[in-house]
Amino acid sequence: HSNVDAIVVMHAGDDAASRSRKSIWQPEDVPFDIPEMLQFDLSPDDLASIEEAKSSFNELSPAVRARTVTYEKYGNDLIREAKLYTDTIVQIALQLAFLKTHGSSIAVGASIGDCIWYRVRLRLTRLNRI
C-alpha cells in the first residue's frame, strides 16, 4: 500500500464535510409533552371487519409464493474470474481519487507486484490527463 492511502480517504471526507456544512448543527433542549396512549372506540362492525381481514389473510397467505433469485456472478468471484484482486480495484480507486482531488498522481511506497494493476493505473492516469 501507498503511504497516502488513508490520506486520500480522509481528505475526501474532510472536503465533503466542509462543502456540506456552513455551520455545525447542535441539538437544542426543547421541552415536549409526554406522549399519551391513544384509545380507539371501535364499533361492532369495525371489530367484525378486523376479524374478517385476519381470517382472510390466514386463508390466502399459504397461496402466496415467493421466488428466490440467487446471483452468483458479482463481487469477489467476478473479480477473480477476471484474474484481478479486490485490493487491486481499491488501490486504483484510491489513486484516481487522489489524482482527481489534487491534480497529480502520487508515488507508491509499496512494490507493485501485479503487472495488470500497474498497466491499468498507468492507462487510466494517462486518459485522465488528456
Residue 102 is a catalytic residue: no
Candidate list 1, 80, 123, 129, residue with the active-site label: 1
The answer to whether the CB of 121 falls within 8 A of the CB of 95 is: yes
Q: Give the span between the Cα atoms of 9 and 90, in whole angstroms.
A: 11
Rounded to whole angstroms, the Cα distance separating 126 from 130 reads 7
Hey, how many other C-beta atoms are within 10 angstroms of the C-beta on 89?
15
Q: Which residues are catalytic?
A: 1
